[in-house]
Amino acid sequence: MSAPYLRLGVNIDHVATVRNARGGALPDPVRAALLAIEAGADGITAHLREDRRHIRDEDMARLKREISKPLNFEMAATDDMVAIALHTRPHASCLVPEKRSERTTEGGLDVVGGHDQLKIVTAELKRAGVRVSLFIEPSLDALDAARSIGAPVVELHTGSWCDAIAHGLSEKADHEFGRIRVAAARAQELGIECHAGHGLDFDTARTIAALPQIVELNIGHFLMGEAIFVGLPAALAQMRAAMDEGRRHAG
Ligand code: PXP
């Protein structure tokens, strides 16, 4: 059986990061989302952080109104964020851990310690018709907890794997990729849809695309960095080609 289509979710947070550096309205992250969709993105991801360091409330509202592809609302599992998500009604919410002091989302959710709170938030969002995913470490314990929480989707944190590659730590990279492979297979056994993201570039996206259980990659920082040099449509086309090439080797 051939592997299912691998969707590309484009994270536009860092267009807002650049905008906020000057305090004005440009560059507009919604324009980036529309351009990404025109260039083949299957969905748009945006993270409304508690400190609003990049995406702001009005960006989320505009994304929901203006884009024609699914909106994935990344958020912490707090009462404030749940209220905004219930009001916005995105296609999906990806629940992530959040620390003010971090530069980016460091590590997956504590699905064991935070089990009860995550279960309540997941149920609330699901009742509103929002597809919930949990951003987790690629571990079997985290997957079992995700199932117990009732999450239909998990997103595996690929940061440790990508970091190991970036630092030339090939043994560690192999170990981390092994964890991702095992976790993706376990997700399928549990009937949980499997996504992946964080730190992916052309090479790592090509490699991970060969895991047939993974049906969506969410990619932001690298793509926006490439877009500075070659433009967003060209960066997306190259990412799509890398994913398709990797997918041809799925099995
Ligand atoms: N998925 C999740 C849940 C994230 O928190 C992030 C980072 O915002 C990404 C994917 C995208 O990571 P990157 O910007 O490194 O591609």
Interval 175-187: pLDDT, tens: 999 999 999 999 9
pLDDT for residue 124 is more than 90: yes
pLDDT for residue 100 is more than 80: no
Q: Kindly state if the Cβ of 137 falls inside 6 Å of ligand 1.
A: no
The residue whose CB lies within 8 Å of the most ligand 1 atoms, and thus the one to mutate among 45, 195, 224, 236, is 45
> What pTM did the predictor assign?
0.97
* Helix (H/G/I), strand (E/B), else coil: 20: helix
Return the ligand 1 atom nearest residue 159 CA.
Answer: 15
Decide: 213 and 185 in contact? Cβ < 8 Å: yes
Instruction: Tally Cβ neighbours within 10 Å of residue 251.
Output: 9
Res 1: pLDDT? 62
Which residue's CA is the nearest one to ligand 1's atom 1?
Answer: 197
Closest C-alpha to 48, from 58, 57, 39: 57
Q: Which two three-digit tokens encode residue 102?
A: 């971090």
Q: Kindly state if the Cβ of 155 falls inside 6 Å of ligand 1.
A: yes
Residue 108: DSSP 8-state: -
Return the ligand 1 atom nearest residue 223 CA.
Answer: 16
CA distance 17 to 92: 22
Q: What is the chain's mean pLDDT, rounded? A: 96
The residue whose CB lies within 8 Å of the most ligand 1 atoms, and thus the one to mutate among 74, 99, 222, is 74
Res 248: pLDDT? 95
Res 106: pLDDT? 75
CA distance 129 to 92: 9
* Helix (H/G/I), strand (E/B), else coil: 84: helix
DSSP H/E element including 173: helix 170-190
Domains of the chain plus CATH, in order, are: 32-247 (3.20.20.70)
The residues annotated as belonging to the active site are 47, 74, 198
Q: What values do phi and psi take at 40, rounded to 5?
A: 115, 5
- Interval between CA 198 and ligand 1 midpoint (Å): 4
Residues 15-47 have pLDDT tens digits of: 999 999 999 999 999 999 999 999 999 999 999
